[in-house]
Amino acid sequence: MPNFLEVNHLKVWDKSSGEVILHDSSFKVNAESCLAVVGESGSGKSVTCRAIMRLNKPWVSQSGEILLHGENLSFLSDKEMRQKRGKTMYLIMQHGMSAFDPSTVVGVHLYETLKQHFGWNKHEAAGHMSIAMKSVMLKEPMEIMNKYPHQLSGGMLQRIMIALALVLEPDLIIADEPTTALDTISQYEVLEQFLQLRERLGCSMIFVSHDLGMVRKLADEVLVMKNGVIVEQGSTESIFTAAKHEYTRYLVSTKQTLNDHFKSVMGGQGVAKR
């Protein structure tokens, strides 16, 4: 049985300058598992996500194999890729605002997406979305769907995207730093929704994050990137307890230092755990 998603020798570069952004990346995502991608800003995490979805800017080229269910996505036409996006592969972006057209209420985006994939009319789409939105703790879903993106918080927009995923039931969800722009409480709530999303859909997931605490809670495997290169990959437990690469150990130790500082500020470990 082939791996659910397999990326082989993925290279991404700027057409005009020839600058290589991503160097010879190879990794796999198993069925029903979560792969976390970690690294500092500019390490190539988001570029990797967009390359899998074939959503990088026109001036960016890529080569290599991206196999989903054994099918090489590199050979698909733009029209065929558009049909894959949403129902088969679903991208949740860092800023919920960028997923919606600012000139229309959010419901328009949701209705159009569901009509494209299921042929539902507005009433049917609204019914399915209302149920999903309530399940991710969004009250008054019809009222929310009639609001413009700027009238909603970042946390609400991310939960709307998660609710849409629940309706679409994609095989693969790629979440590109979905909690970075949120406050601490919203980050926790959205993480809980991702945990439930995995449980309910049984889908595979790529979760990009700076937050190693979230990664440890959500991911089965971890891939560590630096300057467009994969420096280490392995099980979550091995990355956190027996990292081989110096950079990985640096990331993990930095996270531990922040944890220890937080505990001391809060009055000791016992208080921090409460």
- pLDDT score for 190: 85
CATH code of domain 5-262? 3.40.50.300
Cβ burial, residue 19 (10 Å; 0-12/13-18/19+): exposed
pLDDT value for 180: 80
**Of 255, 263, 155, whose CA–CA distance to 214 is shortest?**
255
- Single out the residue of 163, 78, 161, 167 nearest to residue 114, CA to CA: 167
Structure confidence at residue 272 (pLDDT): 42
Signed CA dihedral, 197, 206, 176, 232: sign only: positive
Q: What is the predicted pLDDT for the residue at 181?
A: 76
pLDDT per residue of the chain (274 residues) written in tens, 0 to 9: 456 999 999 999 999 999 999 999 999 999 999 999 999 888 999 999 999 999 999 999 999 999 999 999 999 999 999 999 998 999 998 887 888 999 999 999 999 999 999 999 999 999 999 999 999 889 999 999 999 999 999 889 999 999 999 999 999 999 998 888 788 888 888 888 888 888 888 899 999 998 888 899 999 999 999 999 999 999 999 999 999 999 999 988 886 655 554 455 545 544 444 3
pLDDT at 3: 61
Give per-residue burial for 204-218: e unless 16+ CB within 10 Å, then b: bbbbbbbbbebbbeb
Q: What is the pLDDT of residue 258?
A: 52
pTM for the structure as a whole: 0.88
For residue 67, list its beta bridge partners: 6, 72
Listed by start position, the domains of the chain span 5-262
